[in-house]
Structure 1
Amino acid sequence: MTQSLSAALLAAFAALAEERRPGSWAEMAAVDLAFERSRTRDHGDWASNAALKLAKSFGAQPRELAIEIARRLTETPGIANVEVAGPGFINVRLDTAANGAIAKTIVETGKAFGSNFTQRGRPINLEFVSANPTGPLHIGHARWAALGDSIGRLLLASGATLVREFYINDAGAQVERFGRSVLAAAKGDPTPEDGYPGSYITDLAMRVIAAHPDLLGLLVEAQLTTARDRAYDLQLSDLRSSLAKIDVHFDMWFSERELHPKPENGGPSLVDRAVARLSEKGHVFDEEGAVWVRTTDFGDDKNRVIRRFNGDYTYFAADAAYYFSKGDRGFAHKIYLLGADHHGYAPRLKALAGAAGDDPEKDIEVLVGQLVSIDGARLSKRSGNIIELDDLRDWLGTDALRYWLERYPMSSPLLLDAEILRKRTNDNPVFYVQYAHARTHNAALKAAASGVTRDEFSPGLLAHETESVLLVALHEFLWIVSLAAELREPHRVAHYLEELAGLYHRWYDQCRITPIGGEAVMTVHRSRLWLNDATGQVLRNGLYLLGVSAPERM
């Protein structure tokens, strides 16, 4: 409906523009013509401030322009009336039957309702989490996992061609320290001074020994190689398992090792080629024996060393090779979701995109999330200094954990309120939404038991005030999904679902689906069953986009 209204608004503006200034309608952007759901019934169902935005270009007063547009909109099928309020707001009230028709559309569309094509034609690489494979995932990773997965779901629902990618940081010195830590634990020796503490290292050591009983009988160098490689595989498997338990999955696990030279291959590595490509574009220079990239040309605060004077590549070299790899694999648009401790990476990654010949404002997004903490949580016994993701999930549950992590903008610090999240009351927002969904299912069962079916539908009978408001909110779901995808903001879906749940509860308390006493089943009951089931479908679809279950019983 929002698309239909916007199209009608565009047609009205275009006709008027052609009369006053031919061709000027092409200057209007879709955002200027958007309708928003009215927050009060006194202002109708939908409202637009387009006249206020465009009056100057028309050479007219906003209210004068709004009145002229309102006159043209009244001729649009499905619109009951149009009013102009204040300095030039256009308020639209829908015809009852046109408003109610969405219920049948939703039920018949099912899981696909909310899908749209606003991101179609955009091959996107979405990278998130990307934790070092040297330890368990923790509370910080949990936020990026939940947000990244939900952003991916929103992009797919909006028609994007998407790959969700985990970058495995497995080529640095940390992997060697990890291997030495596991081997020391296997021998019963103290943790190396620069090693990794925690009983999870001991657990890994025992698992390595179980797989390689002869480990300590091998030559010293073979001991370290075996312990490191086997522990690495085990830890990476544990990371996958932890993510799968909160329903987060990746299409691609990319190893940093793929970027660096491999003795068996010979020839230039991806890192070598990245440096050569940057040099060909004229952004590389030598100074003090090192090789630099002139990233300050693209907004970075300083130029970056890509190869040290001793010939070793820097982390920036791997970043460059990885960026080129994404482009070479067909991803014109790259999204990086980074933690708060990586806020300094944003300007250098954008500068890298510019040096690679891309548009830093269009071809790359660097989304930096803020820290997350929790009241009452104990540090992991296995890790000793972090709150592990597995412990969080076991304590709070996947649904409560994911919903809360996605309910707030990633740009704001987040405190998980464990007391609320463990409640089975309406104080807990995820319980409130899930209960609304379960209520729609229970209502449908009661309707069936009373002989109410969906073999008849008359949308014009859905005329109660609570029905009108609920129906308008259902219309809005498609717009919410496309907007949340465009802005990379899953919290908009969560807030929408909570409002929808409240509107459903108020409707259910005032409009009966099943007849009372000996009353016969009427068309209005059947039509309300369509509305009940449509609400349940939208709640279900929205919860899926957040990676949260939609239980049928609570």
Structure 2
Amino acid sequence: MTPADLSAALLDIVTTVVDRRREGQGDAQGEGAGGTAVLTLTVDDVPLERPKNRDHGDWSSNVAMRLAKRVGANPRELATEIADAAAGIDGVASAEVAGPGFINFRLDAAAAGQLAKTIVESGEAYGRGHLYDGLLVNLEFVSANPTGPIHLGGARWAAVGDSLARILQAEGADVTREYYFNDHGSQIDRFARSLLAAYLGEPTPEDGYGGDYIAEIAAAVDAEYDGDLSTLPREQQQEVFRSLGTQRMFAEIKDRLHSFGVDFDVYFHEDSLHASGAVERAIERLREQGHVFEEDGAIWLRTTDFGDDRDRVIIRSNGEPAYISGDIGYYLDKRERGFEQNIIMLGADHHGYVGRLMAMVEAFGDVPNVNLQILIGQLVNLVKDGEPVKMSKRAGTIVTLDDLVDAVGVDAARYALVRSSTDSQLDIDLDLLAKRSNENPVFYVQYAHARTRSVAANATAAGVDLSSFAPELLTHETEAALLGGLQEFPRIVAQAAELREPHRVARYVEELAGLYHAWYGVRDGSTRILPHGEEPVTDLHRTRLWLNEATSQVIRNGLGLVGVSAPERM
């Protein structure tokens, strides 16, 4: 029995109980059956949760406490009436009232075990839902300046952003992954001057970029340029480095992200907003809505009308666009492309920028935190031998995505970056991630999957197959716990999507791996899948193989949602 099956059956019972009580109230008041308003219930009114203590049952519901006031009943009395009726649901072994009105359900072994077959037959579809069916989402992440390799903060957003896209898609959203190239403004000027200085053998400009990669790109641009760079005036040389150097940096960033398993549907260039007139169109739209004014020769957006601490300059008095002008043009461009929700992932240093962006959204007539959602990520540090790793060999001043991948590999890097909430600063222990032991979380989960495949191969060799299925035989306590964990996967995926927290999926597969290892490792062999010695193959062996395969599928599905491979052997 799936949670959906139990919810549907429970909804029918609760509706009957509530209707009967309300009709009785109408009769008592001399109003008859039509004396009370119709109360329409949905599955959202009968929530099910996994009890933290498994001794309390397989599922728990607070439906009686949620509805008691609406139907004029004592919560515990209402819970008792519902539980008495629910005990007769096919597949429910018992329904017991606890505390002020919780109802705890225990499933019989056959009903609980049926899930194993459901998962295997569902395959990759198990865990997917319909929370965001058809919703058009633009998910912008990484968006590092094209002036150097991707640093650890960008690496975190690459892993988290790609995982979030996968999870939102699993819930039915139509997600466009978008990378915003900041190729307009002063940072590109500094980048071009730094490349030129390296080419000419001059010191790095005081406000420029250092590191071996600058010299590498400068040499590549010199080799690529169709002509003799040395014959050009300095100003023209700088323009060559601006154009070709930025393109080469773009190409390198894309290549590094692709190697990290992260690809984008759209690469949007900031410069195009200004070249296409998108910024001017957005300003005019806001002017028509009465939110733009001119003062001291500058053009302003009146963001204080929408909670900002001060109004914001859009175009400076010298005619140059302020930084927020690009955001205004970019947001309107996304909305005109049809995106209903626009999610942007920003670093911790952008926290103070959120208020003005939300004010901009409201000025356009949209809903803050709905049409635009901003996720803020905290810093990432690498630790080796108990000490922080402070500098990249190539970038010189920062630790990069390449440094992390070179140290531990793509899978371990992605998993380490995803498994913690982005609200917290993250310290990644390189020594831990290099270990092939249960201390290493990615190894622990991947090894569980590899073990399921080894068990399956040995089962085939021993003549155990999936030709029969008797779920009522799955009675061992570790089997009940494992089935309970497997049931949780769809809820975890939906929760991760709704809260924009991919780490919930990563932590879930760790817990599931633990439940599988506990089942596999029962010391007395009472949960064996393979027959012992000359023992014949029975339905119990075959049914346990179904459970093994179900676990394998869910671990594989979960790792897929965080962009990590599920190896067959380790």
Which range, TM-score by smaller chain?
A: over 0.9
2:26 is aligned to none
1:254 aligns to what SS in structure 2?
A: strand
Q: Does 1:548 align with 2:564?
A: yes
1:293 is aligned to 301
1:265 is aligned to none
Give the TM-score normalised by structure 1. 0.95
The amino acid across from 1:404 in the alignment is: A
Deviation of the 1:474 alpha carbon = 0.9
Q: Does 1:492 align with 2:492?
A: no
CA contact (8 A) 1:183 1:227 kept: yes
The amino acid across from 2:535 in the alignment is: E
2:110 is aligned to 97
Residue number among 219, 228, 231 corresponding to 2:245 in the alignment: 231
Residue pairs, 1:72-91, within 5 angstroms? 72-91=85-104
Uncovered stretches (5+) of structure 2, i.e. residues with no partner: 23-35
Residue number among 357, 373, 380 corresponding to 1:365 in the alignment: 373
Residue number among 515, 523, 544 corresponding to 1:528 in the alignment: 544
CA distance in 2, matches of 1:318, 1:98: 57
2:275 aligns to what SS in structure 1?
A: coil
The more displaced of 82-91 and 438-447 is 82-91
1:414 is aligned to 426
The amino acid across from 1:170 in the alignment is: D
Deviation of the 1:277 alpha carbon = 0.4
1:151 is aligned to 164
Q: CA RMSD in A?
A: 1.7
CA distance in 1, matches of 2:114, 2:535: 26
Deviation of the 1:89 alpha carbon = 1.3
**1:386-407 Cα distance to aligned partner (Å, 9 max, x none):** 0011011100221222112111
Residue pairs, 1:227-266, within 5 angstroms? 227-261=241-275
Residue number among 347, 350, 372 corresponding to 2:358 in the alignment: 350
CA contact (8 A) 2:11 2:43 kept: no
2:521 aligns to what SS in structure 1?
A: helix
CA distance in 2, matches of 1:534, 1:23: 46
The more displaced of 270-279 and 348-357 is 348-357
CA contact (8 A) 1:374 1:418 kept: yes
- 1:548–1:9 Cα change, 3 Å: same
CA contact (8 A) 1:17 1:23 kept: no
Deviation of the 1:64 alpha carbon = 1.3
2:528 is aligned to 512
**1:316-362 Cα distance to aligned partner (Å, 9 max, x none):** 11100000010010101111111101001211111111111111142
Residue number among 268, 282, 287 corresponding to 1:279 in the alignment: 287
Deviation of the 1:525 alpha carbon = 0.6
CA distance in 1, matches of 2:89, 2:290: 57
1:133 is aligned to 146
CA contact (8 A) 1:13 1:25 kept: no
Residue number among 483, 488, 492 corresponding to 2:495 in the alignment: 483
- 1:13–1:288 Cα change, 3 Å: farther
CA distance in 2, matches of 1:356, 1:225: 37
Residue pairs, 1:148-227, within 5 angstroms? 148-212=161-225, 214-227=228-241
- 1:465–1:84 Cα change, 3 Å: same
Deviation of the 1:59 alpha carbon = 2.2
CA distance in 1, matches of 2:394, 2:134: 46
1:375 aligns to what SS in structure 2?
A: strand
1:479 aligns to what SS in structure 2?
A: helix
**1:198-233 Cα distance to aligned partner (Å, 9 max, x none):** 221101111111212622223433322221111111
Residue number among 466, 486, 490 corresponding to 1:454 in the alignment: 466
Deviation of the 1:186 alpha carbon = 1.0
The more displaced of 17-26 and 240-249 is 17-26
Deviation of the 1:23 alpha carbon = 5.0
Deviation of the 1:2 alpha carbon = 2.2
CA distance in 2, matches of 1:113, 1:522: 27
CA distance in 1, matches of 2:43, 2:398: 48
The more displaced of 56-65 and 199-208 is 56-65
CA distance in 1, matches of 2:479, 2:298: 70
Deviation of the 1:129 alpha carbon = 0.8
CA contact (8 A) 1:333 1:363 kept: yes
1:344 aligns to what SS in structure 2?
A: helix
CA contact (8 A) 1:2 1:479 kept: no
Deviation of the 1:54 alpha carbon = 3.2
Deviation of the 1:436 alpha carbon = 0.6
The amino acid across from 2:423 in the alignment is: S
Provide the aligned length of Structure 1 versus Structure 2.
Answer: 547
The more displaced of 493-502 and 48-57 is 48-57
Deviation of the 1:139 alpha carbon = 1.0
2:451 aligns to what SS in structure 1?
A: helix
CA distance in 1, matches of 2:221, 2:372: 40
CA distance in 2, matches of 1:276, 1:116: 41
The amino acid across from 1:12 in the alignment is: I
CA distance in 1, matches of 2:40, 2:292: 43
The amino acid across from 1:502 in the alignment is: G
The amino acid across from 1:509 in the alignment is: G
Q: Does 1:33 align with 2:33?
A: no
**1:280-333 Cα distance to aligned partner (Å, 9 max, x none):** 111112222221111122222221111112222111111000000100101011
Deviation of the 1:252 alpha carbon = 0.8
Q: Does 1:436 align with 2:444?
A: no
Percentage of matched positions with identical amino acids: 54
Residue number among 383, 402, 417 corresponding to 1:390 in the alignment: 402
CA contact (8 A) 1:129 1:144 kept: yes
- 1:29–1:517 Cα change, 3 Å: closer
Deviation of the 1:50 alpha carbon = 2.7
After TM superposition, where is structure 1 displaced by more than 6 Å over at least 4 residues in a row? none
